[in-house]
Structure 1
């Protein structure tokens, strides 16, 4: 698959530093990435050949979560934080196929997403994009696009899928999620997928992957423990089966192949504000 030429890159996109969105794009088989982004995944691949499964399982959870919420709840408003580059089966495509009038706002301040993704993510009248910092809940929720397009007095589905593991501890991720929960009304749901340290025989793999991600050109990718991830759902009622590896969260069918250890190092869950 051909990759973009650095010579044709817009001047405001820095190709000397990996972009989280472009790294995910590469892991999912996309073409909107550069050598520095591919380097991050290839470094991790040396110790975890199935590293792409982190991105694949993360994306598959997003699709199943969106489908679940569209069929099993009355929610028709979605706030997708850290949306990344458009790929097959984006949030709005899933939910609007099932509930055509569902409204989706994508939030991402990655320059590559702003440059290449905005037009594709605003492909119909019920979809919007805004460039805000998802680490700042009040900035996101007070953004004019969010305020004008969503009714924040009615339940919202907030997606933080594959995002919070890129927050440093200094970003206080639990406090960030606490603020989102405080601001959104009763009945809102919160879906999170996060790199995971299982604190068992897979911990060594998780921590080795973390060291490579954090010291790669991307510079982030924390593998947090169960108690740390539980703190991302403050006071919420967890939907069964709770926080589990992404591939185990209501899969589309029976598991016919043995999972790779990498797949046990990313978990997901959905909580409801009662």
Structure 2
């Protein structure tokens, strides 16, 4: 194998959750430690790669729905991860050319890759931020140069909230985001959940989650149940079909598989709207 180029100041000996996810999606921005951890995770839970792809298809369906049907023309993607297939700006701007997108992450590797990709991309920005501290995201001048927070925005939190273990902290952070955005805004969430007790996949999912800790990955995985995930939407109107498995949210054959047959119930996802007063 050819020697891999390592970004200056980046530790590639410790597995990184964004790079592991990139490997699940057959990306190229990962290193040996990430691949070894990812392979161990997939040995524990063989549906992991298919689930990651289903999550990406969910992202595309949500963004197109918000752009086309909900009339949203600006998007805030918190915990965006490494650029890969069907990025938010690509889906949004294919649906409406005037769409603006702000990407947020706290990982220096993610930030470097995203900024390189989007350096000449109109109406997009990439900022450093942490979902736990929403005010610092919303006040960032690079964000407000692209997004008008006095108007409705699509807030996207895909596979990020389960990286925060503290329940009170994460619920409060999402509440503050809900309170800050304009009426008419939408919130989209995908989050891991423990399979039902009767599921033959429950042990596999738990062992895979433990692997993140055992391999020293830079973040852990926190299961939350339906009630906890629903709590992130607060008083917002959850749109149909409600909180469902990834492939079951408004399936669209143009944007990915329309059937969840054979995919274990390890995720819940949904979209909600903040009422217009």
On whether the aligned pair clears a TM of 0.5, the verdict is yes
For the structure 1 residues 241 and 200, does the alpha-carbon distance in structure 2 shift closer, same or farther, using more than 3 Å as the test? farther
1:266 aligns with 2:267: yes
CA contact (8 A) 1:4 1:31 kept: no
Q: 1:6-155 alignment to 2 at 5 Å?
A: 8-155=5-152
Secondary structure at the counterpart of residue 67 of structure 1:
helix
Instruction: Give the structure 2 partner of residue 240 of structure 1.
Output: 240
Instruction: Give the structure 1 partner of residue 231 of structure 2.
Output: 231
Q: Deviations over 1:125-148 (max 9, x none)?
A: 211111122221001101111122
1:215 aligns with 2:218: no
Say which is worse superposed, 250-259 or 41-50, in terms of deviation. Answer: 250-259
- Structure 2: any 5+ residue segments left out of the alignment? none
Displacement over 6 Å in runs of 4+: none
- Structure 1: any 5+ residue segments left out of the alignment? none
CA contact (8 A) 1:196 1:206 kept: no
* Per-residue deviation, 1:119: 2.0
Say which is worse superposed, 200-209 or 186-195, in terms of deviation. Answer: 200-209
Q: Deviations over 1:154-190 (max 9, x none)?
A: 0010000111111112672111110100111111100
For the structure 1 residues 228 and 270, does the alpha-carbon distance in structure 2 shift closer, same or farther, using more than 3 Å as the test? same
CA contact (8 A) 1:86 1:121 kept: no
Q: How many residues align?
A: 269
1:197 aligns with 2:194: yes
* Per-residue deviation, 1:45: 1.6
Measured in 2, the distance between the counterparts of 1:88 and 1:23 equals 15
CA contact (8 A) 1:37 1:217 kept: no
* Per-residue deviation, 1:50: 2.0
Measured in 2, the distance between the counterparts of 1:67 and 1:200 equals 35
CA contact (8 A) 2:195 2:266 kept: yes
Q: CA RMSD in A?
A: 1.9
* Per-residue deviation, 1:122: 4.0
Q: Deviations over 1:209-241 (max 9, x none)?
A: 222233333241112111111111111100101
Measured in 1, the distance between the counterparts of 2:2 and 2:245 equals 31
Measured in 2, the distance between the counterparts of 1:147 and 1:116 equals 22
Measured in 2, the distance between the counterparts of 1:175 and 1:198 equals 25
Measured in 2, the distance between the counterparts of 1:3 and 1:221 equals 32
Measured in 2, the distance between the counterparts of 1:121 and 1:108 equals 14
TM-score, normalization: structure 2?
0.91
CA contact (8 A) 1:168 1:222 kept: yes
TM-score, normalization: structure 1?
0.92
